[in-house]
Amino acid sequence: MESKIVDHLFRHHYGKMVAILTRYFGLAYIETIEDAVQDTFIKATLQWRKQLPVNPEAWLNKVAKNRTIDLLRSIKSQKVRSEKLLKDNSSEELNDLFLDHEIEDSQLRMIFVACHPSLKPQEQIAFALKTISGFSTREIAAALLTKEDTIAKRLRRAKQTIIKNQLQFDFPPPNEVEDRLARVMHVVYLTFNEGFHSTNKDKLIREDLCGEAIRLCKLLLKKEKFRSGSLYALFALLCFHASRLESKTDINGEIVDMLKQDRSQWFFPLIQMGNSAMNKAMEFDKVSIYHYEAAIAAEHIKAKTFKNTNWNKILLYYKKLQDLQPNTFTLLNIAIVELQLNNFEVVRQILDSFEASDLEQRAYLYYGCYSEYYERRGDLVLAISFLDQAILNTTNALEKRYLEKKKVILQNRI
pLDDT digits 0-9 by tens, 186-205: 888 988 887 787 666 666 67
Higher pLDDT, 124 or 389: 389
405 shares its domain with 367: yes
Give me the sign of the Cα torsion angle 113, 116, 122, 123. negative
Higher pLDDT, 360 or 317: 317
280 shares its domain with 341: no
Cα separation of 128 and 64, whole Å? 20
What pLDDT score does 138 carry?
85
Q: Is residue 275 one of the residues assigned to a domain?
A: yes
376 shares its domain with 409: yes
What is the enclosing helix (H) or strand (E) of 295?
Answer: helix 289-302
Q: Is residue 397 one of the residues assigned to a domain?
A: yes
pLDDT band at 89 (very low <50, low <70, confident <90, very high): very low
pLDDT at 12 over 80: no
Mean pLDDT estimate for the chain: 86
pLDDT at 300 over 80: yes
Cα separation of 66 and 304, whole Å? 55
Q: Is residue 71 one of the residues assigned to a domain?
A: no
3 state SS of 72: helix
Cβ–Cβ under 8 Å, residues 37 and 18: yes
Q: Is residue 387 one of the residues assigned to a domain?
A: yes
279 shares its domain with 248: yes
Q: How far is CA 98 from CA 45, 60, 111, 191, 193, in A?
A: 22, 11, 17, 24, 29
Q: Is residue 120 one of the residues assigned to a domain?
A: no
Higher pLDDT, 143 or 318: 318
Q: Give one word for 253, left, alpha or beta, with left for phi > 0 and alpha for psi -120 to 50.
A: left
Count how many domains the chain has: 3
Stretch 54-65: mean pLDDT, rounded?
Answer: 80
- In 10 A of CB 25, how many CB atoms? 23
Helix pair 311-324, 328-340: axis angle to 10 deg: 160
246 shares its domain with 277: yes
pTM for the whole thing? 0.81
One-letter amino acid of 222 = K
332 shares its domain with 367: no
361 shares its domain with 410: yes
Higher pLDDT, 87 or 391: 391
Host domain of residue 341: 317-352
What pLDDT score does 67 carry?
78
Stretch 385-400: mean pLDDT, rounded?
Answer: 92
Q: Is residue 378 one of the residues assigned to a domain?
A: yes
Q: Could you report the per-residue pLDDT of 328-370, keeping only the tens digit for each? A: 999 999 999 999 999 999 999 999 999 999 998 889 999 999 9
321 shares its domain with 385: no
Cα separation of 41 and 28, whole Å? 22
Name residue 381's beta-bridge partners: none
3 state SS of 249: strand
372 shares its domain with 408: yes
Q: Is residue 399 one of the residues assigned to a domain?
A: yes
